Structure 1
Amino acid sequence: MEALLKHLVDITCQRDHTLLDSSIVSALHELVGASRVFVHELFRFRDELYIRPRVGINNGKIVSMEEAPDNHGEPITRYPALVESIKQRKTCMEDVNAAGDRTLWLPVWLNDKVSTCLEVTNPTPYSSHTLHMMEGILSVYRNYQNILDYSERDSLTGLLNRKTFDEKFSRLLTSSSPESGLQERDERRHQPAPGIGQWLAVVDIDHFKRVNDQFGHLYGDEVLILVANLLRQSFRSQDRVFRFGGEEFVVLLRSTTLEDARKIFERFRTNVEQHEFPQVGKVTVSLGFASISNESPVVILGHADQALYYAKANGRNRVCYYDELVKSGELHSEVSNDTVEFF
């Protein structure tokens, strides 16, 4: 009982999804003796449901894979027991492989949807008492995950909020995990292929004030919601999309080349341009992006912001890349005493 209470306290004191995931895998590993526990994320990509690991414990070692550049996920159809559990709306489904290892798939249901599931593997079957204890632990995890999710998301669009951006961007810039309680990650997972980079984009809805003034704030809110939906559809699950405030959004695009990044951003711009917004009609966006380098977060965000304002000052409804603007002489930067001034 003392060990159970300790883990429940650990789960409910977390203020971050990664640490919460670490707490639940540690609790299940210790309390039920599981040899392997993983928290997976479920997401849709091109109308197909995918699964990818976020945090896991294998052979006693906790690893976080959320920021790994090669963690793209795989189709959920490779795991029939999980597919069946979701189809039947069950909270638990057991699968036994050829070696006799037993895997429990535990979908985490929130508002009749599943975006998270747990995978618990053990060579021997669990007793009804152990299963009942696992169900209780998962109920606490589910409730607290819902609380964290609410605090991390913008209430209007459902996208991640500005506070969450600060945390996730800092984590992306850190080569090793900064969180206490996590083991060191496998550094080989973080070595990008040549030409592969990370990118930050700032998106702004063109003439948004005109929408509010002409049609009212209710239609303005609807435009924000629809643009947020187009952002979700245009980017992959391993990318991150945030509402920064007002009509401004930020995208962290990960593990892709400059050419592909430009195509992805242009595709999103085109998707917005071609979308028919009820009552309002046509809406466009401007986008500025920059590479995520070893500079400070403020400098990188400043680069993307400068590219955005250049786009808005030069026709709108366009995508601009900061380094190209500097190289062509359209923007100038001066480096002095380790600071950067923008003109």
Structure 2
Amino acid sequence: MAPVPPLTPLDAVLDLTAATSQVELDRSVVRLAAALVAAEQITLYHLFQPDGGAADDPEAPTTWVRELPDGDERPITALPHCAAAARSGTPQPLSLPGGGVEVAYPIAGDQGLAGLLTARYPHLPDDAQALLAPLLTCYHHHRRLLLALEHDALTGLRNRQTFDLQIWEVIHAAGRPTRRRDEPGGTICFAMFDIDHFKRVNDTFGHLYGDEVLLLFARLLGRSFRQSDLTYRYGGEEFCVVLFGANLERAGRVLERFHTAVADHPFPQVGQQTVSIGFTQVRPDDQPGDLIDRADRALYFAKAHGRNQLCAYEQLVTDGELADTSRVIGGVELF
């Protein structure tokens, strides 16, 4: 059998550009980087600010890093070589207690730092930087393209197409133990939002002000939920959020704060706006349609009973306000 030729930087770039989602892209760059430089371990990090500040500012005191595609989060100061690489924009080595070295490579973005990649070696290779540079540059450009495809142009939130792709991953994560500090037990809730009387905004003030309401509403979503939660523009004036590490009680508190934030926010020209919210807990055996239907039924109840409120599907069933249309026969849930 002929020996397998070594992976070249061009081969790696071609392989990387085949990724069709951010999660796939993140996994690919880790796999390809390890093959290129024969590293013992590769780790990819994104920078973010828990307080909503600029994610690419390594000097900010609250800068955190998130291990990708779905790992731990920690302050960047907990990884001194990563903090040094972020500040300097150059690779920074860290000698390991048991021998070997780990190097943090900054991933340059359009206006600052896009992320970091660390590689662990028994001995530092001379050509590692030259081999990784084109791969990391291509990673940044392809990630920017995928971000544009996966996000709504007006609000910047994830779009409906991305929701349809990611909701299966959310369901599979329900009830599954995870390492993430914000996902104890894999408990997840799903909420749908509808801006009340939005058609009246468009009819009265015009679509330009309607778009501004949507944009400001999306910004409130971004400030009200954690970086680890998933926010989407579902369509029109409808939005949805996946809340990780949240049972119904905790989700209700978070959603009530957001409900109040919307009511208290001054929307230019339009004045006060309110929102109706329906939410439910994600079940490990859900189909996407089941999950959406439960949240949507709770949302419809909220709108049909005065709007400007939030309703949990499970509580509505317990109170006798809604009939639970699911039934279990032989361990299989039917509708």
TM-score calculated relative to the size of structure 2: 0.85
Report the AA paired with residue 140 of structure 1. Answer: C
Counterpart contact for 1:197–1:258, Cα < 8 Å: no
Q: Does 1:31 align with 2:33?
A: no
Residue 313 (structure 2) aligns with: 322
Q: Does 1:311 align with 2:302?
A: yes
For these two proteins, the number of residue pairs brought into alignment is 313
Q: Does 1:200 align with 2:190?
A: yes
> Mean Cα displacement is larger for which, 313-322 or 41-50?
41-50
Counterpart contact for 2:316–2:322, Cα < 8 Å: yes
Q: 1:150 to 1:193 in 2, by over 3 A?
A: closer
State the identity as a percent: 35
DSSP-derived class of the 1:263 partner: helix
Residue 63 (structure 1) aligns with: none
> Mean Cα displacement is larger for which, 103-112 or 27-36?
103-112
User: What do you get for the CA RMSD once the two structures are aligned?
Assistant: 2.4
Report the AA paired with residue 273 of structure 1. Answer: A
Instruction: Give me the whole-angstrom Cα distance separating, in 2, the residues matched to 1:261 and 1:120.
Output: 38
Residue 223 (structure 2) aligns with: 233
Question: CA offsets, 1:260-318, max 9 Å, x none?
Answer: 11111111111111112222221111110011112211011000001111111112121
Greater share of strand residues, 1 or 2? Answer: 1
DSSP-derived class of the 1:42 partner: strand
Report the AA paired with residue 213 of structure 1. Answer: D
Report the AA paired with residue 67 of structure 2. Answer: P
Question: CA offsets, 1:143-192, max 9 Å, x none?
Answer: 1111111111111111111111111111122269xxxxxxxxxx753797
Residue 75 (structure 1) aligns with: 75
Residue 131 (structure 1) aligns with: 129
Q: Does 1:44 align with 2:49?
A: yes
Q: 1:240 to 1:40 in 2, by over 3 A?
A: same
Instruction: Give me the whole-angstrom Cα distance separating, in 1, the residues matched to 2:177 and 2:287.
Output: 24
Instruction: Give me the whole-angstrom Cα distance separating, in 2, the residues matched to 1:267 and 1:296.
Output: 29
**Counterpart mapping for 1:135-174 below 5 A:** 135-174=133-172
Counterpart contact for 1:234–1:268, Cα < 8 Å: yes
Residue 102 (structure 2) aligns with: 103
TM-score calculated relative to the size of structure 1: 0.83
Report the AA paired with residue 44 of structure 1. Answer: Q
Instruction: Give me the whole-angstrom Cα distance separating, in 1, the residues matched to 2:112 and 2:216.
Output: 21
Question: CA offsets, 1:207-247, max 9 Å, x none?
Answer: 11111122221121111111111111111122100111111
Report the AA paired with residue 92 of structure 2. Answer: M
Residue 7 (structure 2) aligns with: 3
Instruction: Give me the whole-angstrom Cα distance separating, in 2, the residues matched to 1:115 and 1:265.
Output: 31
Instruction: Give me the whole-angstrom Cα distance separating, in 1, the residues matched to 2:220 and 2:162.
Output: 20
> Mean Cα displacement is larger for which, 236-245 or 5-14?
5-14
Q: Does 1:12 align with 2:21?
A: no
Residue 117 (structure 2) aligns with: 118
Q: 1:170 to 1:319 in 2, by over 3 A?
A: same
Instruction: Give me the whole-angstrom Cα distance separating, in 2, the residues matched to 1:154 and 1:109.
Output: 24
Instruction: Give me the whole-angstrom Cα distance separating, in 1, the residues matched to 2:108 and 2:64.
Output: 16
Counterpart contact for 1:290–1:321, Cα < 8 Å: yes
Report the AA paired with residue 87 of structure 2. Answer: K
- 1:97 Cα offset (Å): 4.2
DSSP-derived class of the 1:104 partner: strand
Question: CA offsets, 1:114-167, max 9 Å, x none?
Answer: 45321222232231x331221111111111111111111111111111111111
**Match 1:297 to one of 259, 278, 288:** 288
DSSP-derived class of the 2:7 partner: helix
DSSP-derived class of the 1:333 partner: coil
